[in-house]
Structure 1
């Protein structure tokens, strides 16, 4: 009996040690936290400028690695490859990535933007969406502007087979439009705002409902291993969101300097962002489910993909809600 009792105690000790090790690993801060910054994510630019993430994790001796994302497609590539742990994308682009196997969860909403529209040159003869039939449109595949374009075309009975989509990164799309290499461009701020103010380009088609939210996504493996780290990153994002709302002129200066655009361009970009809804949830889920059919209609996901299930698995409010509640209570 005594031998059995001692063996049981030994097993309990081993189990306790294992659980303690797992708990320590679960709670530990990684030596390096890899995050993206993007010209379409004002919070990321403010945080990077002021070194707020570096300050937050300095006591842990954790290094912050910043990686520039020029579009949702790049951010999703970096997340999928593990080059970054947390990255900024448009909502529908995140759904597309998740549906095609990218293991991410959306943990924060950095803005509700009207950041994309279909743009033509000021002297363009194109006046309506129907006029785009047979024309060249620059759009970055896998991004909100690309998906916005497909949805816009569908409103007048056109599909991507009725136009020639030219896959260019957002800044290159603007250049191609200015040079007459394409007839229209699926713009993205701040480049779109710059095209309007600096070049006099026209917004041919706008639809704020076709602009999906600005999603901050975490790799699922990183979120599972380091939930407290993700919560602390969101705490810094929330600090930046509140700071932008309180200091719009200073925020515009940072956006202008980081994005290398004029101050009027940066101000126009910020005016097209709603920073009031940082916690992902039912509103984003409903918007994405309304937008998701375009992914099936344009055969961008595998046949039989359960997109409502993908969206439900993508949007996660559990980390952001207590962070935002705490910040608002300060």
Structure 2
């Protein structure tokens, strides 16, 4: 609790008089379970977020918005206050295009958790993807993985038919034979493997994905105490996972409708440490460079990741 109090004080000193802004009646925080977001699942199951905001007389809403692009659009429109799990690429693209958001923490680092999946009779190698139908969520880490995989074979998105689908829809389309490849993560990968599918590649060696927690800049600046309350709940969830791993796995497995064994295999793929590091900044900067080279972001719109996107408080979280 001392560390949480220090965080609240640091945020208050950083923000200053804006902290006196009127409190909202409701705080809206997205709920994203995929690919395997155990802290978010535990936080909701245990009621930590409701508990943290109840002392302010504030209710919490948890809209389920899984697309990074849709989360940043909702932030821009003031429809949500916190994007609890946001792909680093989505945050960069949004900020570069004028969305007033700040990265207030890292969520996870997990290059081994993202895959290009196909059926047993599907393409044998990445070079075979030319002309194929590929499904997955655009504007996400998986989008970046696809671009990186294609680039490794001197191919681009123009060489494939890329169809925007969320993870369950992409998995279903793959298994139904409607597409040749799906960009998947978490339990969806396991389900494809159990149905006889195979991985063409993971993100290892191709991308260094960092998912982050994003906030409306106005929310972060005007309500540092509410941001601290959010991290109080987030820290409780992380502590629960550390101290009660089997119970946490059972909760996550139930939410994702997978076995305990499958959940146990997923957990080691993730580093959920919330404090941002210089390595994270370097990775995000590399992601932005890659997006520019791949034509996903005009060079003129590139941003200074540390100065423009990441809140200073993100480096001091404990």
Equivalent residue, structure 1, for 2:120: 122
Query: 1:320 deviation in Å?
Result: 5.9
For structure 1, which segment, 52-61 or 222-231, has the greater mean C-alpha deviation from structure 2 after superposition?
A: 52-61
Equivalent residue, structure 2, for 1:35: 29
Alignment of 1:185-200 (within 5 A): 185-196=182-193, 198-200=194-196
SS at match of 1:138: strand
Q: 221, 229, 242: which is aligned to 1:224?
A: 221
Q: 138, 142, 145: which is aligned to 1:141?
A: 138
- The answer (yes or no) to whether the contact 1:117–1:206 under 8 Å persists in 2 is yes
- The answer (yes or no) to whether the contact 2:118–2:181 under 8 Å persists in 1 is yes
**Structure possessing the higher relative contact order (Cα contacts under 8 Å, 6 or more residues apart):** 2
> What is the TM-score normalised by the length of structure 1?
0.84
Residues 205-246 of structure 1 show CA distances to partners (whole Å, capped at 9, x for unaligned) of: 123351411211111011011112112211211221222123
Take 1:215 and 1:319, find their aligned partners in 2: how far apart are those partners?
10
Take 2:213 and 2:159, find their aligned partners in 1: how far apart are those partners?
34
Take 1:66 and 1:272, find their aligned partners in 2: how far apart are those partners?
26
Query: 1:280 deviation in Å?
Result: 1.2
Equivalent residue, structure 1, for 2:82: 86
Take 1:247 and 1:195, find their aligned partners in 2: how far apart are those partners?
29
Alignment of 1:49-88 (within 5 A): 49-87=45-83, 88=85
Q: Is 1:105 matched with 2:99?
A: no
- Shift in alpha-carbon separation, 1:244–1:71, aligned structure 2, 3 A: farther
Take 1:291 and 1:257, find their aligned partners in 2: how far apart are those partners?
33
Spell out structure 1 runs of 4+ moving beyond 4 A. Answer: 22-25
Equivalent residue, structure 2, for 1:315: 310
Larger radius of gyration: 1
Take 1:247 and 1:75, find their aligned partners in 2: how far apart are those partners?
31
For structure 1, which segment, 240-249 or 149-158, has the greater mean C-alpha deviation from structure 2 after superposition?
A: 240-249
What is the aligned residue count? 298
Q: Is 1:271 matched with 2:265?
A: no
- Shift in alpha-carbon separation, 1:123–1:193, aligned structure 2, 3 A: same
Q: Is 1:288 matched with 2:284?
A: yes
Query: 1:317 deviation in Å?
Result: 4.1
Query: 1:310 deviation in Å?
Result: 4.2
Query: 1:24 deviation in Å?
Result: 8.0
Take 1:115 and 1:51, find their aligned partners in 2: how far apart are those partners?
27
Query: 1:158 deviation in Å?
Result: 0.7
Take 1:303 and 1:320, find their aligned partners in 2: how far apart are those partners?
27
- Shift in alpha-carbon separation, 1:99–1:24, aligned structure 2, 3 A: closer
- Shift in alpha-carbon separation, 1:227–1:25, aligned structure 2, 3 A: closer
Query: 1:59 deviation in Å?
Result: 2.0
- The answer (yes or no) to whether the contact 2:106–2:314 under 8 Å persists in 1 is no
SS at match of 1:82: coil
Query: 1:259 deviation in Å?
Result: 2.4
